[in-house]
């Protein structure tokens, strides 16, 4: 089902490496968010080593995601974190297909297998797709189509509802100048993604898929991206690492857009 509240995924990557500080930071974040926390679907993706302890502390009051899972289900695979073990400690989400993992060697084949492993364990997936670059040939549209179809053709239609598509153009991720996509281009991409889903999997799937955006989201662009990009949420990297900045983003996106429009028209009268 399409989310009524903005989905806010905070991808902390490898930025928080001391457990006590991470726990304190989340406690403080929840305190500062206060009632606003119920106006968003907040998913925090901290260092994987910490998720079990964080789950014990925050229980159901916080949705947690791991940043990846293994291609393998079990067996002789040193260093792997399996989907089953993630499910066993009660973690709700996993990010799969992030460009930083693709950069380290995750092929589309590996990504499909990881998604299948997660779905088998009933873990919800934040599935990252996105082109490395764009030019006039619009070949990036084909890349997006392939990333969607290769996954959705290889999973059960019933599990589509467990997937959030995170459109993250690689050129916008971790961009030194915080160059994100403009909201009109994002809106076009969202329409394009829904069109693929409509043509291949039907109206219900297309209408109900949650699509979020990631790549240099900041407090200054979050509102425009969310409202005018017509996405259901944001996947935020660097701007989610400090509570102040994450809070500003949340404040900016939970103001009712309708109220805003009324205010604009009200002022014009």
Provide the annotated active-site residues: 98, 168
Nearer to ligand PGA, 82 or 226 (CB): 226
Q: Given candidates 67, 183, 216, 223, which one binds ligand PGA under the rule CB under 6 A?
A: 216
As given in the structure block, the two tokens for residue 110 are 């590996």
Q: Given candidates 83, 168, 183, 250, which one binds ligand PGA under the rule CB under 6 A?
A: 168
Q: Given candidates 226, 235, 249, 253, which one binds ligand PGA under the rule CB under 6 A?
A: 235
Nearer to ligand PGA, 59 or 176 (CB): 176
Q: Is 6 in the site for ligand PGA (CB under 6 A)?
A: no
Which 9-28 positions form the footprint of ligand PGA (CB under 6 A)?
11
Q: Is 102 in the site for ligand PGA (CB under 6 A)?
A: no
Complete DSSP assignment for 146-202: HHHHHHHTTS-GGGGGGEEEEE--GGGTT-TT-----HHHHHHHHHHHHHHHHHHH-
Residue 130 neighbours by CB under 8 Å, 6+ apart: 99, 144, 147, 167, 168, 169, 170, 173, 215
Shortest spacing between CB 239 and ligand PGA, in angstroms:
6
Shortest spacing between CB 267 and ligand PGA, in angstroms:
33
Contact present, 129 and 144 (Cβ < 8 Å): yes
Q: Is 210 in the site for ligand PGA (CB under 6 A)?
A: no
Contact present, 88 and 69 (Cβ < 8 Å): no
Q: Is 113 in the site for ligand PGA (CB under 6 A)?
A: no
Size of the site for ligand PGA (CB under 6 A): 13
Contact present, 125 and 93 (Cβ < 8 Å): yes
Shortest spacing between CB 174 and ligand PGA, in angstroms:
5
Nearest-10 Cα torsion for 125, 164, 209, 107: -80
Shortest spacing between CB 92 and ligand PGA, in angstroms:
18
Which 238-257 positions form the footprint of ligand PGA (CB under 6 A)?
238-239
How do strand 93-96 and strand 124-129 relate by DSSP bridges? parallel
Nearer to ligand PGA, 102 or 238 (CB): 238
Residue 247 neighbours by CB under 8 Å, 6+ apart: 29, 32, 33
Q: Given candidates 174, 188, 206, 245, which one binds ligand PGA under the rule CB under 6 A?
A: 174
Q: Is 236 in the site for ligand PGA (CB under 6 A)?
A: yes
**Helix, strand, or coil (residue 81):** coil
Q: Closest-CB residue for ligand PGA? A: 237
Residue with tokens 């457990």: 19
Chain positions contacting ligand PGA, by CB under 6 A: 11, 168, 173-174, 214-217, 235-239
């Amino acid at each position: 089902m399409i989310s009524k509240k903005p989905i806010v995924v905070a991808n902390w990557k490898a930025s928080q490496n001391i457990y006590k500080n991470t726990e304190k930071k989340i406690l403080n974040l929840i305190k500062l968010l206060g009632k606003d926390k119920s106006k968003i679907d907040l998913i925090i993706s901290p260092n994987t080593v910490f998720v079990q302890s964080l789950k014990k502390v925050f229980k159901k009051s916080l949705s947690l995601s791991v940043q990846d899972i293994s291609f393998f289900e079990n067996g002789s695979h040193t260093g792997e974190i399996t989907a089953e073990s993630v499910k066993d400690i009660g973690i709700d989400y996993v990010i799969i297909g992030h460009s930083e993992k693709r950069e380290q060697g995750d092929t589309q084949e590996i990504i499909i297998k990881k998604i299948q492993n997660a779905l088998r364990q009933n873990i919800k997936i934040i599935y990252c797709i996105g082109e490395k670059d764009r030019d006039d040939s619009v070949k990036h549209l084909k890349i997006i189509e392939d990333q969607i179809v290769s996954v959705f053709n290889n999973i059960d239609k019933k599990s589509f509802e467990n997937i959030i598509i995170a459109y993250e153009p690689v050129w916008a991720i971790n961009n030194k100048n915080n160059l994100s996509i403009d909201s009109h281009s994002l809106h076009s991409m969202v329409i394009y993604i829904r069109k693929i889903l409509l043509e291949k999997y039907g109206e219900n799937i297309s209408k109900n898929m949650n699509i979020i955006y990631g790549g240099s989201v900041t407090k200054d662009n979050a509102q425009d991206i969310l409202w005018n990009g017509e996405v259901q949420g944001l996947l935020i990297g660097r701007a989610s690492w400090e509570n102040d900045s994450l809070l500003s983003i949340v404040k900016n996106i939970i103001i009712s857009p309708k109220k805003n429009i009324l205010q604009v028209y009200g002022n014009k009268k």
